[in-house]
Structure formats: structure tokens, C-alpha cells
Amino acid sequence: MKWLGILGLVALSECLVTIPLMKIKSMRENLRGNNTLKDYLEKYPNSLAYKFLHKQPDPGVSFEPLRNYLDLAYVGVISIGTPPQKFKVVFDTGSADLWVPSVYCSSRACATHRTFNPLLSSTFLVSGQPVNLVYGSGKVSGFLAYDTVQIGGLVDLSQAFSLSLEEEPGNFMEFAVFDGILGLSYPSLALRGATPVFDNLWKQGLIAQNLFAFYLSRKDEKGSVLMLGGVDPSYYRGDLHWVPVSRPTYWQVGMDSISVNGEVIACDGGCQAIIDTGTSLLTGPRDPVLNIQELINAQHSYDGEYAVDCNAVHTLPDIVFTIDGGNYPVPASAYIQKNHLGTCRSNFEESVGDEPYSDIWVLGDVFLRLYFTAFDRANNRIGLAPAV
């Protein structure tokens, strides 16, 4: 069936089936600053058309440049359909599905983002399956479809993706700097009948190795990159430390401890952590996070965040995450962030999620800016090394 028509889509929206992702804090779609951030980004309408730092790409690796939006989100451009329709997406290792807004979306957020028009694509197919993607910050309701997806110069045929009919709550996406999300987690998290994008790239023989990697820049708008099918050693120092995936749903690993100056302050006796490019901060269980906030003298503020003296960045110690015997220090310059008003806040946050997930740590972009990360699907492991 090529197309259901508008009335068919409206009918689908009234009988949606909830398919939760059990995601802890996937994206901070309701980005801080809202209108302030939006106004700032409007000053750079052409900044996505850049070359990546004049680096010579490995011919065996496909590079997808990412734009760093104020250290809050890393966004790349993909296209869907024939001829291609372009979208800005977050490449999220904490989920497994691809979705973008549709021209039939009724939410206010869709009016401020690019929307996909199925009638303009000669390769579009609709499945008729209604979906409801649930994230930590909101949900996206819509329907499943198939079309050609282009990413990093690779052409992925008959890729399953979701088209949104509704995005809620209203602030979930309205001020987001991206149009949709492309999940890079394991297929077990994907919608029924939907093969994730990365799995299709591998099955169609488009990449040399069954792995991908991220380099996330610090503060710089340009320079971040997603590598598909391999890694480029020029982006990290030393060797990759390979850590086995403990549960192949999220990119989840066993963590030994969290310590300061050799004293364990959290994760005593071991715990679990998820490596998540779709989370801005470092999140964890309530009590350990509150203990860390107290340790760094972070004060709970009226807006729900934790304010820190900006001068403390020069005196506070590293917080060390020990993973599979390897130490990964996070300095105060990383876990304290100054905003556009010149005030500072803690980059630690309590997890949001139901049991058994609320006791899992999520190592988001704060951690990943420090450590180049390779995600090896062939061997179910994650490689970590200090980023250059």
C-alpha cells in the first residue's frame, strides 16, 4: 500500500499503541534557554554546510559531521525520500528508532521544524502500524513507514522510520534545535518490525566494520563527528580500552565505582551505566547524586537545577568513574558549566525513570566530550580513550 491518505492517518492517531522505550533521560529536548537559545541559533542558518576540520578521512570510514549546540546537543543532517528531504537529527545511542515530523503533525512543535511529505517521495511506503515513542522528556505519536535514508554519504534502502502526528508535551520539541532523533542502540529497543538504521547499513554491506564511533567537541560549534564503519585514531590518545556490554539493549556496561581522591563516593561495590549520546548530563540515582551535589557545594536553585560557585572550577577535585578496571576522571571544568548569564551549574542530575532503570547511571555528553567512544556491535563492547 503506497499511502493511506489524510483521513487514514487521522484514524491511526486515534488508536495508537504505546511502545515505551524505557529510556531514562534520553534527550533534554526542552533545552535550557528556550527562546534565548532559539534566537542564538537563528544567527547561524548556514553553519551546517561545513567541512570537518580539514581532516583526511579514512577511506574505510564514513564521516557524518555534527554541529555542537552550546554543549547541549550534537546534531547531524540526514535525508529521507526520493528526491531527498533533509532533516536535522540527534544520533542517540540511548534509543533505537528513527523518527521525524510529518506534514500531518498537529503539534505546535512541528510548525517550527522541517516536516516530511510522503506525497513528494517516489520511494515512500507506509506500513499502517501506529506507534508511540516514549522518552524521558515526552512522547512522539505517529505511524511507521519505509523509505530511502541517506546518512554520511551512505544510501540505506527501505529503512523503517516513524512519522510523527503529535509531539507532547508542547515544550518537548518546540524549541529543540533538531527535527528528529536517529537511534543507534540495539534492535531489542526498536519498534516491532523496524530494523534500526545502523543494522540496515551493516546488512546492506554499506560499511566495512560493524561498529561506529563518536568524537564530541568541547564548546566548539564545529569539529564533532559520527564515524560509521570504523574509527580514526587521530581523534584520541593512546589505545582504546574495550569494555564488554553487560546487557545488549542499551549500550550498558558494568561500572566499578565513582570516587574522589581515592575515596568511593558512589557505586560502591559496582553498578550499571549506560553510555548515551542522547543525554546532555551525568545522571544517576537520587541519593548518590545528592551526595555529589553536597560534595561540590552545589545549591538547589529555584529553577530545579544546582548552582555552583564558578570559582570552584579551579579548586574542586576530579570525580573518577572506574569502568572495567580503567579510570576515567571527569574534572570540575567538565562537571561545572557556565551558562550565557555567567552563572554556573552542576552537570550532575538525578535519573528520571521507573524501576529497575532509576538505579542506573547515564554517562552523557559531559563524559563523552572527554572520551572518544567506539560502539562495537560485532563484539558487543565499547572502546574508550581520551579524546584529543
Predicted pLDDT of residue 20: 38
Give the global pTM.
0.85
What is the dihedral angle through the alpha carbons of 332, 95, 118, 170, rounded to the nearest 10 degrees? -60
Q: Which one from 71, 147, 276, 376 is the annotated catalytic residue?
A: 276
Evaluate if residue 29 carries a pLDDT over 50: no
225 burial level (CB within 10 Å; 0-12, 13-18, 19+): buried
Q: What is the rounded CA–CA span in Å between residue 27 and residue 94?
A: 9
pLDDT confidence of 50, banded at 50, 70, 90?
very low
Is 303 marked active-site?
Answer: no
Q: What is the rounded CA–CA span in Å between residue 191 and residue 107?
A: 22
Evaluate if residue 32 carries a pLDDT over 80: no
The three cell numbers of residue 72 are 547541549
Is 92 marked active-site?
Answer: yes
Predicted pLDDT of residue 52: 35
Reported CATH class of domain 6-228: mainly beta
Give the 3-state secondary structure of residue 235. Answer: helix
Predicted pLDDT of residue 214: 98
Q: Which fold has domain 236-386?
A: Cathepsin D, subunit A; domain 1 (2.40.70)
pLDDT > 70: what percent of the chain? 82
Q: How far is CA 115 from CA 78, 210, 253, 320, 323, in A?
A: 13, 31, 36, 43, 41
According to DSSP, the β-strands at 211-215 and 125-134 are: unpaired
Q: What is the rounded CA–CA span in Å between residue 246 and residue 342?
A: 40
| Same CATH fold assignment for domains 6-228 and 236-386 | yes
Predicted pLDDT of residue 279: 93
Domain boundaries, the chain: 6-228, 236-386
Work out the average pLDDT over 275-298.
Answer: 96
Identity of the amino acid at 166: E
What digits encode the pLDDT tens for the residues 259-277? 999 999 999 999 999 999 9
Q: Which one from 92, 97, 156, 179 is the annotated catalytic residue?
A: 92
What digits encode the pLDDT tens for the residues 223-236? 999 999 999 999 99
